[in-house]
Protein backbone atom coordinates (compact mmCIF):
# COMPACT_ATOMS: atom_id res chain seq x y z
CA UNK A 1 0.00 0.00 0.00
CA UNK A 2 2.73 2.49 0.95
CA UNK A 3 4.85 1.85 -2.19
CA UNK A 4 1.77 2.17 -4.45
CA UNK A 5 0.72 5.43 -2.84
CA UNK A 6 4.31 6.74 -3.12
CA UNK A 7 4.39 5.70 -6.79
CA UNK A 8 1.03 7.32 -7.56
CA UNK A 9 2.16 10.45 -5.71
CA UNK A 10 5.36 10.49 -7.84
CA UNK A 11 3.31 9.95 -11.00
CA UNK A 12 0.99 12.74 -9.96
CA UNK A 13 4.03 14.98 -9.26
CA UNK A 14 5.57 14.16 -12.68
CA UNK A 15 2.24 14.86 -14.41
CA UNK A 16 1.95 18.21 -12.58
CA UNK A 17 5.54 19.15 -13.54
CA UNK A 18 4.91 18.16 -17.18
CA UNK A 19 1.75 20.29 -17.34
CA UNK A 20 3.60 23.21 -15.72
CA UNK A 21 6.40 22.92 -18.29
CA UNK A 22 3.79 22.90 -21.09
CA UNK A 23 2.15 26.02 -19.65
CA UNK A 24 5.57 27.68 -19.32
CA UNK A 25 6.47 26.78 -22.92
CA UNK A 26 3.12 28.10 -24.17
CA UNK A 27 3.50 31.32 -22.14
CA UNK A 28 7.04 31.80 -23.48
CA UNK A 29 5.87 31.12 -27.04
CA UNK A 30 3.09 33.73 -26.71
CA UNK A 31 5.52 36.21 -25.17
CA UNK A 32 7.97 35.70 -28.04
CA UNK A 33 5.12 36.24 -30.54
CA UNK A 34 4.12 39.45 -28.75
CA UNK A 35 7.76 40.59 -28.73
CA UNK A 36 8.16 39.82 -32.44
CA UNK A 37 4.89 41.65 -33.23
CA UNK A 38 5.97 44.64 -31.10
CA UNK A 39 9.37 44.73 -32.85
CA UNK A 40 7.71 44.46 -36.26
CA UNK A 41 5.35 47.37 -35.45
CA UNK A 42 8.26 49.44 -34.14
CA UNK A 43 10.28 48.77 -37.31
CA UNK A 44 7.23 49.77 -39.39
CA UNK A 45 6.86 53.02 -37.38
CA UNK A 46 10.59 53.72 -37.77
CA UNK A 47 10.40 53.06 -41.52
CA UNK A 48 7.40 55.39 -41.94
CA UNK A 49 9.14 58.08 -39.87
CA UNK A 50 12.25 57.73 -42.04
CA UNK A 51 10.09 58.12 -45.18
CA UNK A 52 8.43 61.23 -43.71
CA UNK A 53 11.84 62.69 -42.83
CA UNK A 54 13.16 62.01 -46.34
CA UNK A 55 10.03 63.54 -47.92
CA UNK A 56 10.36 66.64 -45.76
CA UNK A 57 14.06 66.94 -46.61
CA UNK A 58 13.24 66.57 -50.33
CA UNK A 59 10.44 69.16 -50.12
CA UNK A 60 12.70 71.54 -48.24
CA UNK A 61 15.46 71.12 -50.85
CA UNK A 62 12.92 71.74 -53.65
CA UNK A 63 11.73 74.88 -51.88
CA UNK A 64 15.33 76.11 -51.52
CA UNK A 65 16.03 75.34 -55.20
CA UNK A 66 12.84 77.17 -56.25
CA UNK A 67 13.73 80.15 -54.07
CA UNK A 68 17.26 80.22 -55.50
CA UNK A 69 15.86 80.12 -59.05
CA UNK A 70 13.42 82.95 -58.19
CA UNK A 71 16.22 85.01 -56.64
CA UNK A 72 18.45 84.49 -59.70
CA UNK A 73 15.59 85.39 -62.05
CA UNK A 74 14.78 88.56 -60.07
CA UNK A 75 18.47 89.50 -60.03
CA UNK A 76 18.68 89.02 -63.81
CA UNK A 77 15.47 91.00 -64.41
CA UNK A 78 16.75 93.75 -62.12
CA UNK A 79 20.04 93.97 -64.09
CA UNK A 80 18.08 94.06 -67.36
CA UNK A 81 15.85 96.85 -66.02
CA UNK A 82 18.93 98.79 -64.89
CA UNK A 83 20.38 98.40 -68.41
CA UNK A 84 17.09 99.55 -69.98
CA UNK A 85 16.94 102.49 -67.55
CA UNK A 86 20.55 103.45 -68.38
CA UNK A 87 19.70 103.31 -72.09
CA UNK A 88 16.63 105.53 -71.61
CA UNK A 89 18.63 108.07 -69.57
CA UNK A 90 21.35 108.10 -72.23
CA UNK A 91 18.73 108.59 -74.91
CA UNK A 92 17.20 111.56 -73.07
CA UNK A 93 20.63 113.09 -72.45
CA UNK A 94 21.39 112.85 -76.17
CA UNK A 95 17.96 114.31 -77.03
CA UNK A 96 18.35 117.21 -74.60
CA UNK A 97 21.91 117.99 -75.74
CA UNK A 98 20.75 117.84 -79.37
CA UNK A 99 17.85 120.23 -78.69
CA UNK A 100 20.20 122.53 -76.72
CA UNK A 101 22.18 123.29 -79.87
CA UNK A 102 20.15 125.81 -81.84
CA UNK A 103 19.12 124.55 -85.29
CA UNK A 104 20.39 127.68 -87.12
CA UNK A 105 23.97 126.72 -86.19
CA UNK A 106 23.57 123.54 -88.20
CA UNK A 107 22.41 125.54 -91.20
CA UNK A 108 25.20 128.08 -90.79
CA UNK A 109 27.85 125.33 -90.68
CA UNK A 110 26.65 123.68 -93.87
67-90: average pLDDT: 97
How high does pLDDT run on average in the chain? 91
Q: What are the CA-CA distances from residue 46 to residues 29, 34, 41, 53, 57 (Å)?
A: 25, 18, 9, 10, 16
pLDDT-based confidence at residue 98 (cuts at 50, 70, 90): confident
Question: Cα–Cα distance between 110 and 105 in angstroms, integer?
Answer: 9
Residue ranges covered by each domain of the chain: 2-96
User: Shortest CA distance to 22 belongs to which of 14, 33, 12?
Assistant: 14
pTM of the model: 0.49
Tell me whether residue 56 is exposed, middle or buried, using C-beta atoms within 10 angstroms of its C-beta: 0 to 12, 13 to 18, 19 or more: exposed
Amino acid sequence: GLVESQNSFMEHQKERDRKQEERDRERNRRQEERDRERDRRQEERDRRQEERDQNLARQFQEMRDDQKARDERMEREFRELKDVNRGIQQHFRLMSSASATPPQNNFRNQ
